[in-house]
Amino acid sequence: MNARDTYRRQRLENADPGELIVMLYDGILRFMEEAARALSAGDPKGTGEKLGRALDIVAYLQSTLRASVAPELVKSLDNTYFAWSMLMLRAQAERDVTILERVRTQVDEMRETWVEAILKARAEKQGSSPQAAGGVR
């Protein structure tokens, strides 16, 4: 195992649930970017592999939703994740990078919302401002 793998493993082991969600969004974004490059290069196999990885992460996020916690929020997230999945599949079928870009923008916005929520929760816990609560990678 190299230093980068060790760092990733330690980061995962020490992350709180919110940080793990942000990491999953980072994975979606990374695989969508790679899929867009493959799609632009006319590489259907690469596109399918990378979109498959992004879709796997979205499916995992969907599988972790628990309606008993916050039914309205869960319904909204479930609908969002479903829409992302359908749009990714449509982008692949239509070979349309602009659809992927639209989804990527939405994923990035959701990621930033999670980062803000994490910082706010830390600040409330520490009794300080969100900026003083520390960063989320």
* 70-102 pLDDT tens trace: 999 999 999 999 999 999 999 999 999 999 999
In a domain, 135, yes or no: no
Question: Which residue pairs, CB below 8 angstroms and at least 24 apart, start in 38-44?
Answer: 39/91, 39/92, 39/95, 39/97, 39/100, 40/97
CATH of the domain at 71: 1.20.120.340
Q: How many CB atoms lie within 10 A of CB 55?
A: 21
Q: Is residue 136 in some structural domain?
A: no
Residue 14 lies in a domain: yes
**pLDDT surpasses 60 at 2:** yes
Q: Identify whether 133 is part of a domain.
A: no
Average per-residue pLDDT in the chain? Answer: 91
Residue 21 to residue 65: CA distance in whole angstroms: 12
Task: Give pLDDT tens digits for 8-27.
Answer: 677 777 778 899 999 999 99
Per-residue pLDDT at 92: 96
> Which residues span the domain enclosing 49?
3-127
pLDDT at 13: 72
Task: Identify the pLDDT of residue 128.
Answer: 67
Counting the structural domains of the chain, the total is 1
Q: What percent of the chain has pLDDT over 70?
A: 91
Find all residues with CB under 8 Å of 47, minimum gap 6, and list them.
35, 38, 39, 92
